[in-house]
Amino acid sequence: MQETCDLTKGRVAARLMGFFFPMLLTNTLQQAYTFVDTMIVGKGLGDQALGSVGNLSSLMLLITGFLMGITNGFSVNIAQRFGAGDYQMLRKNIAHSIKLCGTSTAALTLISLIFLKPLLISMQTSPSLMRDSLLYGYIFFGGLMVTAAYNLCSCILRALGDSSTPFKAIMISSVINIMLDCLLIFGFRTGVGGAAFATVFSQTVSVLVCCYKLRKNDLLCLGRDDFAKDRSVDQNLMNNGIPAACMNAVTAVGCMVVQGYVNALGAVFTSAYSVCSKVLNLVMLPSLTAGFSLSAFVSQNKGAGSIQRIREGVRAGILIGFVSWLVVGSVMLLIPHQLAGVMLNESETISLTAEFLRICAIPLLLLNLLFVFRSTVQGMGYPLIPMCSGILEMALRIPVIVLMMTNIGFRATAYAEGVAWFGALLLNVVAYIVLIRRTVGIQQSLDAIGEQSAGR
């Protein structure tokens, strides 16, 4: 069936890479147009406007990260049902995912719009940035349902082994987003509000593309019975979705605390930190994508009981993370000023950003491996461990900022990232080793029981 891809069969490396590369193109394109969007705002409206938008990044990560965590958690259940060949429960899980995601998004939209200004004030947002930050935030969070719809649709597609449709959707929406940015900012002079509208509108297009593909899949002909109340299905979905959402939310809270300390230093530092975040989001793409790929791969194979394929998949993910670190880490180490200069204008802001990137170049390997092991543990059906690693990241990041920023200033933000990545990676690696050994032991016991029964 062309609309799906069974990741439980065939050569592991070939299957995983065939799934990985379309998703890498998708995420790269998504980050690239975010990068271009930031560049257009910075070059077209100035560093202060860029700081106003960037000031929202940690808050946007909190809300969208929560939604992304929920949908990624739901996709684990969906992929496991697909891997097990249980198509009735597959449809039921998808139907209930839609209901739960819609309810969660409606509540988050209301909360975001009500508490946007108080949160910006609590983050010590500079008065010079407040107006544009509010304008961008109200438009973006007002369209949160569109963001949630895309996340859910793309997660369902990936759970079924389809990583090419999200790429097509993002490719179309990226072109629309960039064209609208240029038209609204340079043509109609709409300011940051135009950039926010362009983002929401272009993402709506990506949702329509994904929905069209899902409707064509015979496995996904949802009926009224699939949406019928079923507490056990809801509970199983939330058991994976809520911990994954909390992990992202806790990480975002830590970033918001860091953002507050950065904002207290002044608008220049706010602009620098916003660009640092954008560059990190771009350079982490290969390993982040490897993590998403492994989540679907591991989930399907866990449903099929193929433990050895999970091990082989993890080894392939580690290789991807190491190779990507060699490439992007070298770029961050050798030409950080050029990277910063793409989006910024002022020499002081560029220098601050370049220093951050240079410090983070080496520990970036820790982040790459973190994505691999965290996604594997989640795909095996143990979402509480990744959630605890998110809490650990926050617990490590904030003290470094509090203790070091008064002495070394803005550089403390870079050191805090490395410390947080190391702690979270260590927890997930230990968890993976323990869980894989436990799963193998259980499988061997079941095989022994089966042989004894057959002998009788």
pLDDT in tens, 94-115: 999 999 999 999 999 999 999 9
- Band (pLDDT 50/70/90 cuts) for residue 450 is low
Residues 56 and 137 sit within 8 Å (Cβ to Cβ): yes
Q: Mean pLDDT over residues 338-345, rounded?
A: 78
Token readout for 29 is: 């394109």
Q: Mean pLDDT over residues 183-207, rounded?
A: 88
Residue holding tokens 């602009």? Answer: 271
Token readout for 200 is: 């929401």
Q: For residues 75 and 58, what is the distance between their CA atoms, to the nearest angstrom?
A: 25
What integer pLDDT is reported at residue 434 of this predicted model?
93
Q: For residues 294 and 20, what is the distance between their CA atoms, to the nearest angstrom?
A: 9
Q: For residues 112 and 362, what is the distance between their CA atoms, to the nearest angstrom?
A: 36
Residues 349 and 268 sit within 8 Å (Cβ to Cβ): yes
What integer pLDDT is reported at residue 247 of this predicted model?
84
Is pLDDT at 456 greater than 60 in this prediction? no
Half-sphere exposure (CA, 13 Å, Cβ side) for 49? 23
What integer pLDDT is reported at residue 233 of this predicted model?
94
State the DSSP H helix or E strand holding residue 58, giving kind and residue range, or none if neither: helix 57-84
What integer pLDDT is reported at residue 446 of this predicted model?
56
Higher per-residue pLDDT: 407 or 105: 105
- Band (pLDDT 50/70/90 cuts) for residue 433 is very high
Average pLDDT over the chain, rounded to whole?
86
pLDDT digits (tens, 9 = 90+) for 301-319: 888 888 889 999 999 999 9
Residue 246, φ and ψ in degrees, nearest 5: -65, -35
Q: Mean pLDDT over residues 262-288, rounded?
A: 84
| Cβ contacts of 403 within 8 Å, gap of 6 or more | none
What integer pLDDT is reported at residue 445 of this predicted model?
64
Q: Mean pLDDT over residues 446-454, rounded?
A: 59
Percent of the chain with pLDDT over 90: 37
Give the residue among 371, 369, 375 at the shortest CA–CA distance from 318: 369
Is pLDDT at 1 greater than 50 in this prediction? no
What integer pLDDT is reported at residue 422 of this predicted model?
96
Q: For residues 287 and 28, what is the distance between their CA atoms, to the nearest angstrom?
A: 11
What integer pLDDT is reported at residue 154 of this predicted model?
92
What integer pLDDT is reported at residue 407 of this predicted model?
86
- The four Cα atoms 220, 221, 224, 230 give a dihedral, to 10 degrees, of -20
What integer pLDDT is reported at residue 369 of this predicted model?
96
| Cβ contacts of 139 within 8 Å, gap of 6 or more | 193, 196, 197, 200
Higher per-residue pLDDT: 3 or 383: 383
Q: For residues 425 and 213, what is the distance between their CA atoms, to the nearest angstrom?
A: 36
Residue holding tokens 């508490």? Answer: 115
Q: Mean pLDDT over residues 354-370, rounded?
A: 93
Q: Mean pLDDT over residues 383-389, rounded?
A: 90
- Band (pLDDT 50/70/90 cuts) for residue 2 is very low
Residue holding tokens 């929406």? Answer: 173
Residue holding tokens 């029964």? Answer: 453
Q: For residues 2 and 400, what is the distance between their CA atoms, to the nearest angstrom?
A: 50
Least trusted range by pLDDT, from 219-233, 240-254, 353-367, 379-393: 240-254
Q: Mean pLDDT over residues 3-14, rounded?
A: 78
Provide the phi-psi class of 85: left if phi over 0, else alpha when psi is between -120 and 50, else beta.
left
Q: For residues 393 and 375, what is the distance between their CA atoms, to the nearest angstrom?
A: 16
- Band (pLDDT 50/70/90 cuts) for residue 171 is confident
Q: How many C-beta atoms surround the C-beta of residue 164 within 10 A?
A: 18
pLDDT digits (tens, 9 = 90+) for 18-59: 888 888 887 777 777 676 777 787 777 777 777 777 778 778
- Band (pLDDT 50/70/90 cuts) for residue 364 is very high
Q: For residues 321 and 327, what is the distance between their CA atoms, to the nearest angstrom?
A: 10
Give the residue among 202, 177, 207 at the shortest CA–CA distance from 39: 177
Q: Mean pLDDT over residues 398-405, rounded?
A: 89
| Cβ contacts of 105 within 8 Å, gap of 6 or more | 67, 144, 145, 148
Least trusted range by pLDDT, from 22-31, 170-179, 180-189, 303-312: 22-31
Is pLDDT at 140 greater than 70 in this prediction? yes
